[in-house]
A = this chain, B = another copy of it.
Amino acid sequence: MAESHNKAEIGLDPEIVHGVQDALAEGGLAQAADRVLALPYADAADLIESLTPEERAALVPALKGRLDPLVLSDLAYSVREELVDLLGPRGTAQALTELDTDDAVEVVRTLDKAVQFQVLEAVPALERGEIERGLAFPENSAGRLMQRAFVAAPASWSVGQLIDHLREAEDLPDDFYDLFIVDAEFRPIAAVPLSRILRSKRPVLVGAIVEPEGEFSTVPVTMDQEDVAYLFLQRDLVSAPVVDEHGRMVGVVTVDDVVEVIEEEREEDLMRLGGMAQTDIRRGVLGTTRGRFAWLFVNLLTAILASLVIGLFEAQIEHLVALAVLMPIAASMGGNAGSQTLTVVVRGLATHEISVVNATRVVTKEVLVGSLNGVLFAALGGLVAGLWFGTWQIGLVLGAALVVNMMAAGLAGSLIPLAMHFRKIDPAISSVVFLTTVTDVVGFLAFLGLASWVLL
């Protein structure tokens, strides 16, 4: 999230938004619509998102029929629902017909069941069939991501034949980056980047311009989109063929879809570590409050658990109130050390840098790091506590509690996500709860327990 020197040139210019809002306020509907239509689709989507619902209700009828259908697929879900409402089932169906299958499927899947049904009714049978086939694939699968139009040829074609075919063919995708070579059963066996075809002479066979050392990857329709993204990253792919259970080619995934998957997963990772299922930037106050309630509720339970632990030592605290003053230090240092470990381990699992091969090494290292930093902060924290309350024993107790809790943080921060990963549970969100519970309970227990043993 580094700041740039020319951020103003990037992204939608606020002046444009204000211009459209002013035009709408003055009843200049046609003028407002023209300004929106002049923008590239992603900017138009951003602009529509930053309007109020009332402004959208005024603007959309004026755009009718002329809006780039890609705007619909680019909008945030809540705003998309609004637009589908404003366009009506017919207007939406029209837009879907113009989109590639993958984009149309993405729009349809986010609609309420009832609206989905109405809209699909209005789509012509052929396109409806394609969209429904797309929806039949599991969510987040390659089948959902792929586009059904692609270019494939047998290895025996010459470059000349291929170019002539491309010049005549009608049903080609808008843009494509690789030619896929298929065998007699329509199974993809190699990919040839278009730049290689352009550089080869007409009589050369397409099968001959495949790099011999080139690793070729196919994507099963059921592959998880995050694994597709990993494959693209690992092999520097621009497009890859998608195959059904018989290995036959049924579609193609392109890098633009993958870039979106990576962005989506990036958002998901961040939100989960922050305690939310998804970003709620476009949701209203009530929806947002409701969306965040669950996580805060879980947090209330762990906080109460921590309070119960403290409650065990009421007598000791009453006797030595310094304990109440210092106890948050023991818990919070463990929490922070643990969340450092957790972040590194969750990320390492996602990038496949951590696996069964090195899991034990990772846990050992994290416990050692936790213990070492524990010793350092035991010295620092113990010194502060000792000086503050004028007795070295309380410093000693805080120091010992810090060592114990930061070691526990390294252990729990690495073991919890690893255990979840190997049991095939997403490690991000629930790890944080378990970890905080461990570091709070261990922190308070170690500090207050040692104090009642040593000091009282």
Contacts and interface: CB of A to CB of B under 8 A. Distances in A.
A133 interface: no
A173 B342 CA distance: 42
Contacts of A303: 328-329, 332-333
B215 A233 contact: no
Contacts of A343: 270-271, 273-276
Nearest to A312: B325
B279 A4 contact: no
B295 A340 contact: yes
B373 A199 contact: no
A340 B285 contact: no
A425 B172 CA distance: 47
Contact of A166 (B199, B285, B304, B326): B199
A10 B344 contact: no
A209 interface: no
Interface in A403-456: 421, 424-428, 440
Q: How many copies does the complex hold?
A: 2
A197 B167 CA distance: 9
B271 A347 contact: yes
Contact of A1 (B169, B318, B427): B427
B296 A337 contact: yes
Given A1-B268, A293-B373, A318-B318, A328 B340 contact: no
Interface stretch (A23-31, A115-123, A376-384): A376-384
Nearest to A39: B215
Interface stretch (A11-19, A54-62, A241-249): A11-19
A125 interface: no
A140 to B, nearest CB: 6
A126 interface: no
B275 A274 contact: no
A66 interface: no
A357 interface: yes
Contacts of A351: 267
Contact of A336 (B215, B295, B325): B295
Interface in A298-317: 299-300, 302-304, 306-307, 310-311, 314, 317
A289 interface: yes
Interface string A10-54: 111010011000000000000000000000101100100110000
Given A262-B263, A325-B311, A224 B2 contact: yes
Contact of A270 (B269, B292, B325): B269
Contact of A10 (B227, B300, B365): B227
A64 interface: no
Given A233-B263, A372-B289, A336 B1 contact: no
Interface stretch (A81-89, A90-98, A252-260): A252-260
Contact of A194 (B173, B194, B265): B194
A382 to B, nearest CB: 11
A393 interface: no
A440 B223 CA distance: 45
A155 interface: no
Given A195-B176, A328-B303, A347 B223 contact: no
Given A40-B235, A269-B1, A300-B329, A285 B10 contact: no
A376 B274 contact: no
B199 A357 contact: no
Given A266-B262, A310-B325, A274 B227 contact: no
A369 interface: yes
Contacts of A317: 317, 321, 324
A167 B314 CA distance: 85
A43 B234 contact: yes
Contact of A259 (B46, B258, B281, B347): B258
24 contacts: A3-B421, A6-B227, A10-B231, A11-B355, A42-B233, A42-B236, A43-B234, A166-B198, A175-B238, A255-B255, A262-B262, A273-B274, A274-B344, A275-B340, A276-B344, A281-B344, A292-B369, A300-B329, A303-B332, A303-B333, A306-B328, A306-B329, A307-B328, A314-B322
